[in-house]
Structure 1
């Protein structure tokens, strides 16, 4: 009996001195066993049938017992040649990773030099035409975070050129009428501060610029005058903060006059001669591109129609807003025209036909004053269409005129003394005045 107690005591001492099983350090606790669910080979665990409950105990003949867990080989000593090589390798890798991370952080925090690390061009090409188009387009789309007046908002932007100019919506950079601090996140995930070059409330457009950034890939711009109803389109943005989200649909209508906001709205009052699409657009898509099938930008996603008839939030920034298939984009021809003015002089001058309109009149746009010299229009004329697009009130006409080229001509259908006339009105440029009904 004494000998048996002595043997049992020796076995207990061996079990007490043995290290704890490796899986005890797993985040899920000691009951988590490494097996197929973690992607590795199943690990044998000692069963209750083992002679003494010790899975590591060697068999009497010196071989490992069947089903027992084998201990991993010990790591080489740090002082050995192999150990020194491992230490040197770890130090080099850590230095490289730390240096790259430091550059990215410094670029975001101090506005220093930043090089964008785009995906390797040697990677396998996407298999479908749509995927290939998006592969080329995504580097030209950026995502914006704006801190203004103690509030944080988000939106999307488009790279205009390799000089760092970015086109977006005015209501993105000044959600409450006041500009804030803007941080740009590129498609690579790298971040950098941006400066506001200029903004225009009437067109709801703004231009930003990032400096000290190389490796930029500007977007490719199309011709919105040639957009046709029914053609396929895609929208890219960050709906509800989900960057790089792609949605698709068709062009539902063109020359859709849209007035967003109100005269007393903090975000301003905008007149848009918009492209309408059923491609889902949600909060966070504002300022992002509407693309045709070839991947060229044909519009700037700006406004959505809410299902709430009492909603006063045309920009869809309310957390309860969402796509119901009625989204609107500023045609890219109008957007780039305004962008060029903002870059050149910091302000925009919209097209005008030199008249003042009666905002309270229904059934057309009634002219109350004529300012342009040599105009064929007269006080009392009621404009019912512009270039064949129906005009129901003053806001419709202002929006349609804002979408025209500033040096062009628009053909107006006018009611005068009971007769319907077609009158050509020459477009000129004038200062933006969003508080009046000038067109």
Structure 2
């Protein structure tokens, strides 16, 4: 990974495309915490007189909407405890499957889950973890009465400015809710891989101003229709200050979460990721000024996309289509924004000579 991308178990620091660090939102269980003028004046007076009656009604409507959504969606959000970490999850179906972040489950296989209708934690087991998209599914060993699956929305319909609520267990405070808006869509974000980070590069993430804190990971970002539109995963941090940058959080889009979780529930694994790949492993190389200058191919998959296009071990990739490649992170970002089966131009250096190859991308 890029040397600027750092991570620790809790909170985990992340590197985002916009050059801010990201805090992965898990929490340590031990630390949970003229003639016209008169009429114009009359118009202004009438408006002012109407305001006291209109504004409280609007505020009341919004409050009622918040309360309705919370009542509808919050029972589908659970708290997940691993041996060291604490996070959140979303009830996927009535058979006890729960979707969460891969970094919440880590390398563990069993968990304690507290649902909305049970004071005592239930036990759950890992079904499958897919770190490439930072998603995982666990399953309750016993399905309690009244378990309520969440309703997942269409990520393509998410718009900037929409009011959203983030639900989860920040700092171990279960069933907590914060509010904000969708600040942006289509963000590509890269996580660090040290000390428990997944190293994932995730495309099309939803940026939100709703507070995302340690323990929110794996929870729900919900619209005012009560639909889950994303899974809160990361919060930005200011590298110069070393603390969270308020109002900048990122959620995995609901459509991607539903696609990946659905495959895990049906197949026990991910069979169609939709993520483009070159079929290589690589490492960042530096130039004479010790600046990142490309990605050297360390290993290459026999018969894979890069191999079929004539690339070899030792070649240094410097561009994918029009996107400059200086680090392994920038290569991951370029691939995350593409699709399997797409034909793309890869520029690389071999023995000091620049060359190009047409590569049909495979699937990760």
TM over 0.5: yes
By how many angstroms is 1:355 displaced? Answer: 4.5
What SS does structure 2 have at the residue aligned with 1:324?
strand
2-side partners of 1:235 and 1:199: how far apart?
23
Structure 1 pair 306–236 and aligned structure 2 pair: CA distance change class (3 A): same
By how many angstroms is 1:287 displaced? Answer: 0.4
Q: Tell me whether 1:372 sits opposite 2:310 in the alignment.
A: no
2-side partners of 1:275 and 1:404: how far apart?
18
Q: Tell me whether 1:203 sits opposite 2:127 in the alignment.
A: no
By how many angstroms is 1:293 displaced? Answer: 2.9
By how many angstroms is 1:162 displaced? Answer: 0.8
Partner of 1:247: 178
Q: Tell me whether 1:185 sits opposite 2:114 in the alignment.
A: yes
1-side partners of 2:342 and 2:163: how far apart?
28
2-side partners of 1:133 and 1:168: how far apart?
21
Over aligned residues, Cα RMSD in angstroms?
A: 3.8
Structure whose residues are more often strand by fraction: 2
The answer on whether the counterparts of 1:301 and 1:327 sit within 8 Å (CA) in structure 2 is yes
2-side partners of 1:364 and 1:218: how far apart?
48
Q: Tell me whether 1:220 sits opposite 2:169 in the alignment.
A: no
By how many angstroms is 1:180 displaced? Answer: 5.7
Structure 1 spans left out of the alignment, 5+ residues: 1-124, 312-320, 431-439
The structure with higher relative contact order (CA 8 Å, sep 6+) is 2
Structure 2 spans left out of the alignment, 5+ residues: 1-60, 350-355
**TM-score, length-scaled by structure 2:** 0.64
By how many angstroms is 1:158 displaced? Answer: 0.2
1-side partners of 2:241 and 2:267: how far apart?
38
Partner of 1:359: 284
By how many angstroms is 1:298 displaced? Answer: 1.6
2-side partners of 1:265 and 1:127: how far apart?
41
1:48-127 mapped onto 2 (5 Å cutoff): none
2-side partners of 1:204 and 1:339: how far apart?
11
- Residues 154-190 of structure 1, C-alpha deviations (whole Å, 9 max, x = no match): 211001011110001122222xxx3164121112243
1:263-278 mapped onto 2 (5 Å cutoff): 264-273=194-203, 274-278=205-209
1-side partners of 2:268 and 2:111: how far apart?
18
By how many angstroms is 1:209 displaced? Answer: 0.9
The answer on whether the counterparts of 2:279 and 2:362 sit within 8 Å (CA) in structure 1 is no
The answer on whether the counterparts of 2:321 and 2:345 sit within 8 Å (CA) in structure 1 is yes
By how many angstroms is 1:231 displaced? Answer: 2.7
Q: Tell me whether 1:166 sits opposite 2:98 in the alignment.
A: yes
What SS does structure 1 have at the residue aligned with 2:264?
helix
Partner of 2:252: 330
The answer on whether the counterparts of 1:334 and 1:404 sit within 8 Å (CA) in structure 2 is no
2-side partners of 1:373 and 1:308: how far apart?
36
- Residues 293-345 of structure 1, C-alpha deviations (whole Å, 9 max, x = no match): 3221121111112235485xxxxxxxxx6562221111222222222333344
- Residues 209-235 of structure 1, C-alpha deviations (whole Å, 9 max, x = no match): 113323221111112233333333221
Structure 1 pair 353–166 and aligned structure 2 pair: CA distance change class (3 A): same
1:133-172 mapped onto 2 (5 Å cutoff): 133-146=69-82, 148=83, 151=84, 153-172=85-104
Q: Tell me whether 1:194 sits opposite 2:124 in the alignment.
A: yes
**TM-score, length-scaled by structure 1:** 0.54
By how many angstroms is 1:284 displaced? Answer: 1.0
Structure 1 pair 382–223 and aligned structure 2 pair: CA distance change class (3 A): farther
What SS does structure 2 have at the residue aligned with 1:395?
helix
What SS does structure 1 have at the residue aligned with 2:258?
helix
Structure 1 pair 327–136 and aligned structure 2 pair: CA distance change class (3 A): same
By how many angstroms is 1:247 displaced? Answer: 1.3
